[in-house]
Amino acid sequence: MAGTVESLRQTRQMREVFGPVLKRMEDVEAFFRRELADALPTVRDVAGWVLDSGGKRLRPALLLLISRMLGYKGERQIRYAAVVELIHTATLIHDDIIDESDLRRGRPTANQKWGNQATVLVGDWLYSRCMDLCLEVGDVEVMRRLVDATLKMTEGEILADQVRGRIDLDEATYLEITRRKTAELFAATCAVPALFQPSTLHHTETLLELGRELGLCFQLVDDVLDYTASRAQLGKPVLADLREGRVTLPLILLLPRLDSRQLEGIAEVARTGEFGSVDEHEVLDLVRTSGVLDEVRRRAAAAADRAIERTCALPEGPERQSLVTVAGLLLDRSK
Amino acid sequence: MAGTVESLRQTRQMREVFGPVLKRMEDVEAFFRRELADALPTVRDVAGWVLDSGGKRLRPALLLLISRMLGYKGERQIRYAAVVELIHTATLIHDDIIDESDLRRGRPTANQKWGNQATVLVGDWLYSRCMDLCLEVGDVEVMRRLVDATLKMTEGEILADQVRGRIDLDEATYLEITRRKTAELFAATCAVPALFQPSTLHHTETLLELGRELGLCFQLVDDVLDYTASRAQLGKPVLADLREGRVTLPLILLLPRLDSRQLEGIAEVARTGEFGSVDEHEVLDLVRTSGVLDEVRRRAAAAADRAIERTCALPEGPERQSLVTVAGLLLDRSK
């Protein structure tokens, strides 16, 4: 219960920090509704299901906040805030096929409800539709960023799939996968607003770096949560990463400290998805008492610090201050 | 055996008709090799497997032949000939997940060899990489055509998935699915070369229509072949469409002529993929003796005729004549 209250508090803080763009966020929701209303019924059902599953809309909110910081007042921010969330949605839909997951955000996954057939296709449709939405307004530079991010995300997923179930994954490879899989879409999300006006183009690189650090922080915290949060908070079983053979930083840091029985037991879970010679509680206990979670939190904090440092080069004002707060809130989730 | 000799003869004729662009076709193959050499190992393996599976490269050949007809001598034709084949390859890779097929072109499918995980991702990667290849040269109009075709193809697949297993599919819906699923990529393939030079832009509409008719002809013939060709010719089991619940025009035309036992038996195969109260031979016999295949061939011939009619508005010369021959050869496959 304490966890839920804490999570509600953080959600409220998140809403406060994005307060100045809440009206715009409603425009983005209206954009989704129009998109779905015009789509084929299967697209409407599957994409609607995932879009309505209680995602935090972090990427659209960041894009709108940064647009506001850069003094952009036009309508393209609504379109691209929607596009980055739709790209994210497409990856979630395809990820659930890949992971053969049954639950996401506490509800059955789309492929669980509609099968692999429909979900492969709806993911494909969303990716293409996102390109179409860029082409409608002819923003080649924005497309370049988004296509680049999508390619790298897919490459990150492919690399992750290659090392799935292998507990000998090294830290450098883990970081490379995380950078591509998560950080690049955050980077594009933050940098796209700089492309809306010639006068803000020079902020592109800083915003890309800011986004990468926020993305890294976000993912490291997610990796911690998989070992600390409750099933209710996660909306999926705890230790989902390990069960799916996804070896993340907490485990990479833990492994050198284990004896051979523990190692073999964890390797077995990563390989088979089933707990055998070690049980769930032993794994949780090992991770939680070893100090590795604090170490991962420190890495996440360092990423948040680097993100905050980047903001110094950006236009002063309440939005810049909000970006600093966002970095802190992303980190706070791990407590 | 007669079928194989016939098929070889047609392949030779196909090579002859595309003779003037064979050198360019080799450039396209070199383009694929470079792309795969630079890609992640999983992409190289999966995409390489499908690209090397003996596809006829019909789309690249058409794009090159039409480029030549329009007097285009630049290098963009190589890139886009590769892109249309890569888009086609991505759809094949995702189709095999959707159909849960084991065989394509006589070999195990990619998902059979590498699993759904890798093949979902490699398909995604290919789609994004195709957009990237367009962006590298900044051809927004070409991208618009290709994105539009990809969207419609995906919509065709989604519609096909919705009616899968339903023998009450009507002809209009079947034609709508076929148009989107197959004809739109042919249309884009044929029209893209018109976009290379301002002086040929006015051919765009004619070439789109030409491509749509060729695509329709191609698909109708494919639907006939599923009932007439041998397993060796198809590279997959005969009656694969019916087993996968894909109700195509021969069956749509046949159903009104069946008694209730036959209807129920065929409905069962479409629904379950298993032959029960009717067997394979009975279905083949019904289709082959009913005259519906001739009717479908007539529709394919009419599409080929309309394609040939469109060529009248295009620049005279040996390439235009070759397009006429291609239409005839696509049709000939059904014999």
Q: Which two tokens stand for residue B189?
A: 């393939």
pTM of the model: 0.92
Q: Which two tokens stand for residue A216?
A: 């890294």
Q: What pLDDT does residue B230 have?
A: 73
Let me know if B200 is exposed, middle or buried by CB neighbors in 10 A (0-12, 13-18, 19+).
buried
Using a CB–CB cutoff of 8 Å, tell me whether A40 touches chain B: yes
Share of chain A above pLDDT 90, in %: 76
Whether B121 and A97 lie within 8 Å, measured CB to CB? no
Determine how many CB atoms are found less than 10 A away from the CB of residue A203: 22
Shortest distance between the Cα of B152 and any Cα of chain A, in A, equals 9
- Residue B233 predicted with pLDDT over 80: no
pLDDT digits (tens, 9 = 90+) for A158-208: 999 899 999 999 999 999 999 999 999 999 999 999 999 999 999 999 999
Least confident of A65-79, B50-64, B203-217: B50-64
Determine how many CB atoms are found less than 10 A away from the CB of residue A288: 13
Q: Which two tokens stand for residue B278?
A: 């009717």
Of B269, B270, B268, B266, the closest CA to residue B258 belongs to B266
Q: What pLDDT does residue B109 have?
A: 81
Whether B131 and A129 lie within 8 Å, measured CB to CB? no
Q: Which two tokens stand for residue A158?
A: 């492919």
Chain B residues touching A94 at Cβ < 8 A: 120-121, 124
Top mean-pLDDT range of A1-10, A136-145, B302-311 = B302-311
Give Cβ neighbours of residue A75 (< 8 Å, ≥ 6 apart). Answer: none
Residue of B124, B130, B161 to mutate for A, most A C-beta atoms under 10 A: B124
Let me know if B259 is exposed, middle or buried by CB neighbors in 10 A (0-12, 13-18, 19+).
exposed
Rg (CA), chain B: 20
Whether A42 and B161 lie within 8 Å, measured CB to CB? yes
Question: A143 and A134 in contact (C-beta within 8 Å)?
Answer: yes
Interface of B with A in 48-77 (CB under 8 A): none
Q: Where are the beta strands (DSSP E) in B119-238?
A: none
Question: B95 and A125 in contact (C-beta within 8 Å)?
Answer: no
pLDDT digits (tens, 9 = 90+) for B105-131: 677 888 888 888 889 999 999 999 999
**How far lies A88's CA from each of A37, B104, B176, in Å?**
20, 32, 30
Domains of chain A, start order:
2-332 (1.10.600.10)
Residue of B121, B126, B133, B146 to mutate for A, most A C-beta atoms under 10 A: B121
Pairing of strands A103-104, A107-108: antiparallel
- Residue B1 predicted with pLDDT over 50: no
Q: What is the mean pLDDT of residues A284-292?
A: 93
Using a CB–CB cutoff of 8 Å, tell me whether B273 touches chain A: no
Helices of type H across chain B: 2-17, 22-38, 41-51, 58-69, 76-99, 110-137, 140-162, 171-178, 184-191, 204-228, 231-234, 240-243, 249-254, 260-272, 280-289, 292-311, 318-332
pLDDT digits (tens, 9 = 90+) for B131-161: 999 999 988 999 999 999 999 999 999 999 8
The values of phi and psi at residue B316, to 5°, are -65, 155
pLDDT digits (tens, 9 = 90+) for A83-95: 999 999 999 999 8
Whether A127 and B127 lie within 8 Å, measured CB to CB? yes
**ipTM value for the complex:** 0.91
Of A310, A253, A293, A246, the closest CA to residue A273 belongs to A246
The values of phi and psi at residue A277, to 5°, are -75, -15
pLDDT digits (tens, 9 = 90+) for B272-303: 988 888 888 999 999 999 999 999 999 999 99
Shortest distance between the Cα of A261 and any Cα of chain B, in A, equals 30
B3/A246: higher pLDDT:
A246
Whether A155 and B40 lie within 8 Å, measured CB to CB? yes
Q: What pLDDT does residue B204 have?
A: 98
Determine how many CB atoms are found less than 10 A away from the CB of residue A105: 15
Of B314, B247, B239, the closest CA to residue B284 belongs to B239
pLDDT digits (tens, 9 = 90+) for B165-186: 999 999 999 999 999 999 999 9
- Residue B102 predicted with pLDDT over 90: no
Considering only the beta carbons, identify the residue of B40, B116, B155 that sits closest to A158. Answer: B40
- pLDDT tier for residue A321 given thresholds of 50, 70 and 90: very high
C-alpha to C-alpha distance for A14 and A26, rounded to whole angstroms: 16
Question: Which amino acid would we find at residue A174?
Answer: Y
By three-state DSSP, how is residue A316 classified? Answer: coil
Residue of B42, B93, B117, B135 to mutate for A, most A C-beta atoms under 10 A: B117
Using a CB–CB cutoff of 8 Å, tell me whether A155 touches chain B: yes
Considering only the beta carbons, identify the residue of B94, B118, B151 that sits closest to A132. Answer: B151
Question: A215 and A183 in contact (C-beta within 8 Å)?
Answer: yes
Pairing of strands B103-104, A107-108: unpaired
Cα torsion for A210, A214, A216, A218, to the nearest 10°? -170
Rg (CA), chain A: 20
Shortest distance between the Cα of B132 and any Cα of chain A, in A, equals 6
Using a CB–CB cutoff of 8 Å, tell me whether A272 touches chain B: no
Own/partner contacts of B137-142, CB < 8 Å, gap of 24 or more, are B137/B76, B137/B79, B138/A140, B139/B76, B139/B195, B140/A135, B140/A138, B140/A140, B141/B195, B142/B80, B142/B192, B142/B195
Q: What is the mean pLDDT of residues B314-332?
A: 95
Whether B154 and A125 lie within 8 Å, measured CB to CB? yes
Rounded to 10 deg, the angle between the A318-332 and A58-69 helix axes is: 160
C-alpha to C-alpha distance for B134 and B154, rounded to whole angstroms: 19
Shortest distance between the Cα of A264 and any Cα of chain B, in A, equals 25
Q: Which two tokens stand for residue B198?
A: 């301002």
Q: Burial code of B70-84, b = ≥16 C-beta within 10 A, e = fewer?
A: bebeeebbbbbbbbb
C-alpha to C-alpha distance for B96 and B107, rounded to whole angstroms: 12
Q: What pLDDT does residue B236 have?
A: 67
pLDDT digits (tens, 9 = 90+) for A119-141: 999 999 999 999 999 999 988 99
Whether A121 and B159 lie within 8 Å, measured CB to CB? no
Q: How many whole angstroms from its chain centre is CA A35?
A: 22
C-alpha to C-alpha distance for A240 and A100, rounded to whole angstroms: 11
Q: Which two tokens stand for residue A309?
A: 């440092």
Q: What's the mean per-residue pLDDT of chain A? A: 91
Transcribe A129-146 into DSSP letters: HHHHHHHHHT-HHHHHHH
Chain B residues touching A117 at Cβ < 8 A: 97-98, 161, 164
Considering only the beta carbons, identify the residue of A43, A94, A118 that sits closest to B124. Answer: A94
Transcribe A150-207 into DSSP letters: HHHHHHHHHHHHHTTT-TT--HHHHHHHHIIIIIHHHHHHHHGGGGSSGGGGGGHHHH
Q: What is the mean pLDDT of residues A73-80?
A: 97
Closest alpha carbon within chain B to A152 = B125
Closest alpha carbon within chain B to A150 = B128
C-alpha to C-alpha distance for B243 and B231, rounded to whole angstroms: 14
Of A211, A72, A109, A68, the closest CA to residue A153 belongs to A211
Q: Which two tokens stand for residue B122?
A: 């490699």
Q: Which two tokens stand for residue B190?
A: 């044929």
Q: What pLDDT does residue A138 have?
A: 86
Whether B122 and A94 lie within 8 Å, measured CB to CB? no
Chain B residues touching A47 at Cβ < 8 A: none
Shortest distance between the Cα of B168 and any Cα of chain A, in A, equals 19
Q: What pLDDT does residue A3 have?
A: 46
C-alpha to C-alpha distance for B199 and B72, rounded to whole angstroms: 10
Whether B120 and A120 lie within 8 Å, measured CB to CB? yes
Q: What pLDDT does residue B3 have?
A: 47
